[in-house]
Amino acid sequence: MDPAQSAPPPEHTEVPPEYPGFVDISVRLTGFDEFELRGTGMVRLYHDTTVEQVGTQAVSRFIDDLNAAGGDPDGLVDETSRDIARAITHLWYLGVWPQLSRSVHAALGRERANVAFVVSPESYTEGLAWRTFDAHPPGAKAPGHGSWSEPPAGAPAPGALRQTEDAA
């Protein structure tokens, strides 16, 4: 499933970036670009977690299904592939591998408990969910004293708040 693993890189050429296929898929699933995803340092861990959790066969089918859908996750019809898409996205957004749907868990014949877990301490602090509303993961990446008083992106400036209300 992974070009970087399927063939050893020829000598004396530039080593390709890790897991380009997984990153491409992750970009489509998350809505974050390659630069942002690689910046988390989580690509390798999430790739390995996915393979470990559902197995290479299911991952291969998922990639085939996604290619068949033109690379658009909305076009995934097979419920197993769709649940893998949900799980990888959940992983990127929260750092948590989720419970699979019970039927998918059974269909895959997974020989492990169907439980949610935080993949690593760093995966929590690198969760993408916080970035979608211009915040930071609680307990990490503190934005500085008093920064919380300022408006987030897309919000009116504090000075305008009272006037807006008075006008309204």
Query: Which one of 8-16, 40-48, 57-65, 160-168 is the stretch in contact with another protein (CB under 8 A)?
Result: 160-168
Give 3 or 121: the residue with its C-beta nearer to another protein: 121
Per rule CB under 8 A, is residue 70 in the interface with another protein? no
Which pair of tokens denotes residue 156?
């009116």
CB atoms within 10 A of CB 74: 9
Closest to another protein by CB, 34 vs 101, is: 101
By CB under 8 A, tell whether 73 contacts another protein.
yes
Here's the x/- map for another protein, 30-69, by CB under 8 A: it reads as xxx-------------------------------------
135 binds another protein (CB under 8 A): yes
Which is nearest to 37 in space by CA: 54, 64, 19, 49?
19
Contacts within 8 Å (CB) and 24+ apart, 81-88: 84/50, 84/54, 84/58, 84/59, 85/29, 87/50, 87/53, 87/54, 88/25, 88/26, 88/29, 88/46, 88/50
What does the binding site for another protein look like in residue numbers (CB under 8 A)?
28-32, 73-74, 79, 82-83, 85-86, 89-90, 93-94, 96, 98-102, 105, 114, 116-118, 120-122, 124-125, 128-130, 132-136, 138-140, 142-156, 158, 161-162, 164-165
